[in-house]
Amino acid sequence: MFFIEKYWENPSRLHVNCEKPHAYFIPFEDQCKAQKGIRDDSAFFRSLNGSWKFKYHDTVYDVEDGFYRDDYDTTGWDDLIVPSNWQMHGYDKPHYTNVNYPFPCDPPFVPDNNPAGIYVRDFNINNMNGKDAYLVFEGVDSCFYVWVNGNFVGYSQVSHMTSEFNITRYIRAGKNRIAVMVLKWCDGSYLEDQDMWRLSGIFREVYLLTRDKVHISDVFVKTDLNKGFSEAILKCEIKTAGGATCAISRLKSVLKDMNDKTLSEQEIDLSRKGNLVFKVTNPELWSAEIPNLYKLLLYSGEEVILLKIGFRKIEIRDSVILVNGRAVKFKGVNRHDSHPELGHNVPVYHMKNDLHLMKRHNINAIRTSHYPLHPVKICFFKPGVSRNHTCVPCNIGTVCFKVCFVNEIEPQFIAEF
């Protein structure tokens, strides 16, 4: 066993060197590609899905030292497709449980016989042309450590949330190597104690994202409607990263309707933070029956970012829920990311089939049991449904977990909205 900090049993360190949570978006190089929204077509997006070298250990204490080096010999290792759960490929066994923990209850500690999966992937990149590079994991269960070219990059847990690392100083032109150590259990497993299959590994997409040195790092959109729904206000708060320079001193924005008609254009100065305000007369409202979505395009530096926005107003009046002034009854279902052959790695077509089947049975609400869904697979579905994020139910209420939950988990859920 090589020496490594045991973050997996330290509730005060849920993440190491991770970027702050932010809204999901992918930058594109032009408006046409941004509006199509196919992220694989972006010049700034590089998928790292596919075949990785893989070695399974029954306990983390059997992991050999040096596996993360860029010259380590992985001859004889297995090949494993990423994204996937290793139990679905014959390593370890799937475990289904609800109330009872699948290991002795002694928070924040987990058993020494804590299985570990080691992943290694080589890839080539061209010159970065002065851009920054971010390594993004959209879902890893339960926790993981990351190295790039032999350098420790960081650590993260919270299995169904996105983890993002700035790896600019670690990569180079030509051949590069990523090494990842995933553990089956961590202190977070006490909080992720829900009625579902326990499956492990890198089960959502991994990709490399290149960004301008100064770029939009986060957006927060808020909409409001007047009493008669004849006028809507759209407010967009924009945060930037990399410092204020002439490279992104001005930001252009364009708001379009469902027919691609330009409604308004704005240009603002940015110094780390900026705000856009649009007024829309007689807006086409979003509802589960007619999910109208407007398009907000943001142009900064060499990047174009698309946001899809719906105008709606939710109220509770006399104990009745109103959407756009009309009483609504929710007929909902619980939904897990679960596939009989692929585990937690659910394909887009499978999710769409689920959604269309629900709509045919007049289901208009989904409870995401018990975690955020895959970001790219929920953003652009045309059938309208109301989505309810579940607050994480758990059976452990120690002070240390409560403090960490407020300080670490809450910002990530805010970013999801």
Q: Is the peptide bond before 339 cis (omega within 30 degrees of 0)?
A: no
46 vs 52: CA distance, rounded Å? 15
Name 291's bridge partners: 286
Report the chain's terminal Cα–Cα distance, integer Å.
41
Taking only the tens of pLDDT, the chain with its 417 residues reads: 678 999 999 999 999 999 999 999 999 999 999 999 999 999 999 999 999 999 999 999 999 999 999 999 999 999 999 999 999 999 999 999 888 899 999 999 999 999 999 999 999 998 888 999 999 999 999 999 999 999 999 999 999 999 999 999 999 999 999 999 999 999 999 998 888 999 999 999 999 999 999 899 999 999 999 999 999 999 999 999 986 555 566 899 999 999 999 999 999 887 656 799 999 999 999 998 899 999 999 999 999 999 999 999 999 999 999 999 999 999 999 988 999 999 999 998 898 888 889 989 999 888 888 888 888 765 545 556 666 655 555 555 444 455 555 555 555 545 544
Q: Which amino acid, one-letter code, is at 80? A: L
Burial 349-372 (b: 16+ CB within 10 A, else e): eebeeebeebbeeebbbbebbbbb
Identify whether the C-beta of residue 284 lies closer than 8 Å to the C-beta of residue 231: no
Residue closest to 184 by CA, chosen among 79, 93, 71:
93
Nearest to 239 by CA among 7, 398, 23, 8: 23
- Tokens 């596919």: give the residue: 50
Distance CA 334, CA 327 (A): 22
Does 415 fall in a domain? no
Closest CA to 26 of 49, 47, 55: 47
C-alpha span between 358 and 332 (Å, rounded): 9
Whether residues 207 and 231 share a domain: the answer is: no
List the CATH number of the domain containing 225: 2.60.40.10
Please check whether residues 238 and 174 belong to one and the same domain.
Answer: no
Distance CA 295, CA 259 (A): 10
Domain carrying residue 151: 15-23+34-211
229 and 194 fall within a common domain: no
Q: What's the CATH number where 141 sits? A: 2.60.120.260
- Rounded CA separation 224/235 (Å): 9
Domains in the chain, number: 3
Cβ within 8 Å of residue 144, ≥6 positions away: 137, 155, 156, 157, 163, 180, 181, 182, 183, 202
How far is 402 from 412, CA to CA, in rounded Å?
15
* 166 and 295 belong to one structural domain: no
Residues 39 and 174 in one domain: yes
